[in-house]
Amino acid sequence: MKDPGEMKRSEINRAIARALACFQAHGWVLPPDAPWDVTDLGLGDFSRCGAVLVNLALEEEYSEKLIYLTCRQTIPRHCHKKKKEDVIARAGAFSIQVWFGDPNQWAADGILQVNNKKRRVASGAVLHLAAGERVTLEPGVYHAFWALGDEAILGEVSTKNDDLHDNFFTDPNIGRFPKIEEDEPPFIRLLGERKP
């Protein structure tokens, strides 16, 4: 994984403000002092690639987060070797593309749980999930997802989350946490900026 690029603090502040407005419009009340994460994955184009994430629970046994995406914003192809997760459309809708093996090689169909029902899915298939719908991703299932419409709030409930060691992107140019150019004061300090 390469060193991530830089994001401007003003861009991060705008993204947080937009996410907060969307959360409030949909009745999401966040816990006090929740850890935030805003990333362009080091690719330098936050409007196209990246997300705003709010960690609601970061425990040893489980994690929960909200993911805010805008139109045309994608979380690119990746998998987790340890983490099992449910990705849930909390507001708006999203699409998710799944691969049962390396997306750059042929892979057989697999079994995926969608809305608590197992079904056979072709590797590379795109699923569209409306508000309230969910998909369960086992470790090793590659996936990419994006909002359908102007914005979406996704929920993620998972086993232990380890963003530093358990995100395996197919694009070698991706870096998980960007460096920040301080062009204005921070609205909220991000997860990677907090002192233990």
Enter the pTM of the model.
0.93
Phi, psi of 28 (to 5 degrees): -85, 120
How many CA atoms, within 13 angstroms, populate the side-chain half-sphere of residue 97? 11
Interacting residues of 163 by C-beta distance below 8 A, sequence separation 6+: 37, 176, 177
How many residues appear in the chain? 196
- What digits encode the pLDDT tens for the residues 63-122? 999 999 999 899 999 999 999 999 999 999 999 999 999 898 878 899 999 999 999 999
User: For 112-135, what is the mean pLDDT?
Assistant: 97
Domains of the chain: 6-191 (2.60.120.10)
- Phi and psi (nearest 5°) for 66? -105, 140
Is 172 in a helix, a strand, or coil? coil
Question: 4 and 180 in contact (C-beta within 8 Å)?
Answer: no
Nearest one of 40, 34, 75, 69 to 55, comparing CA atoms: 34
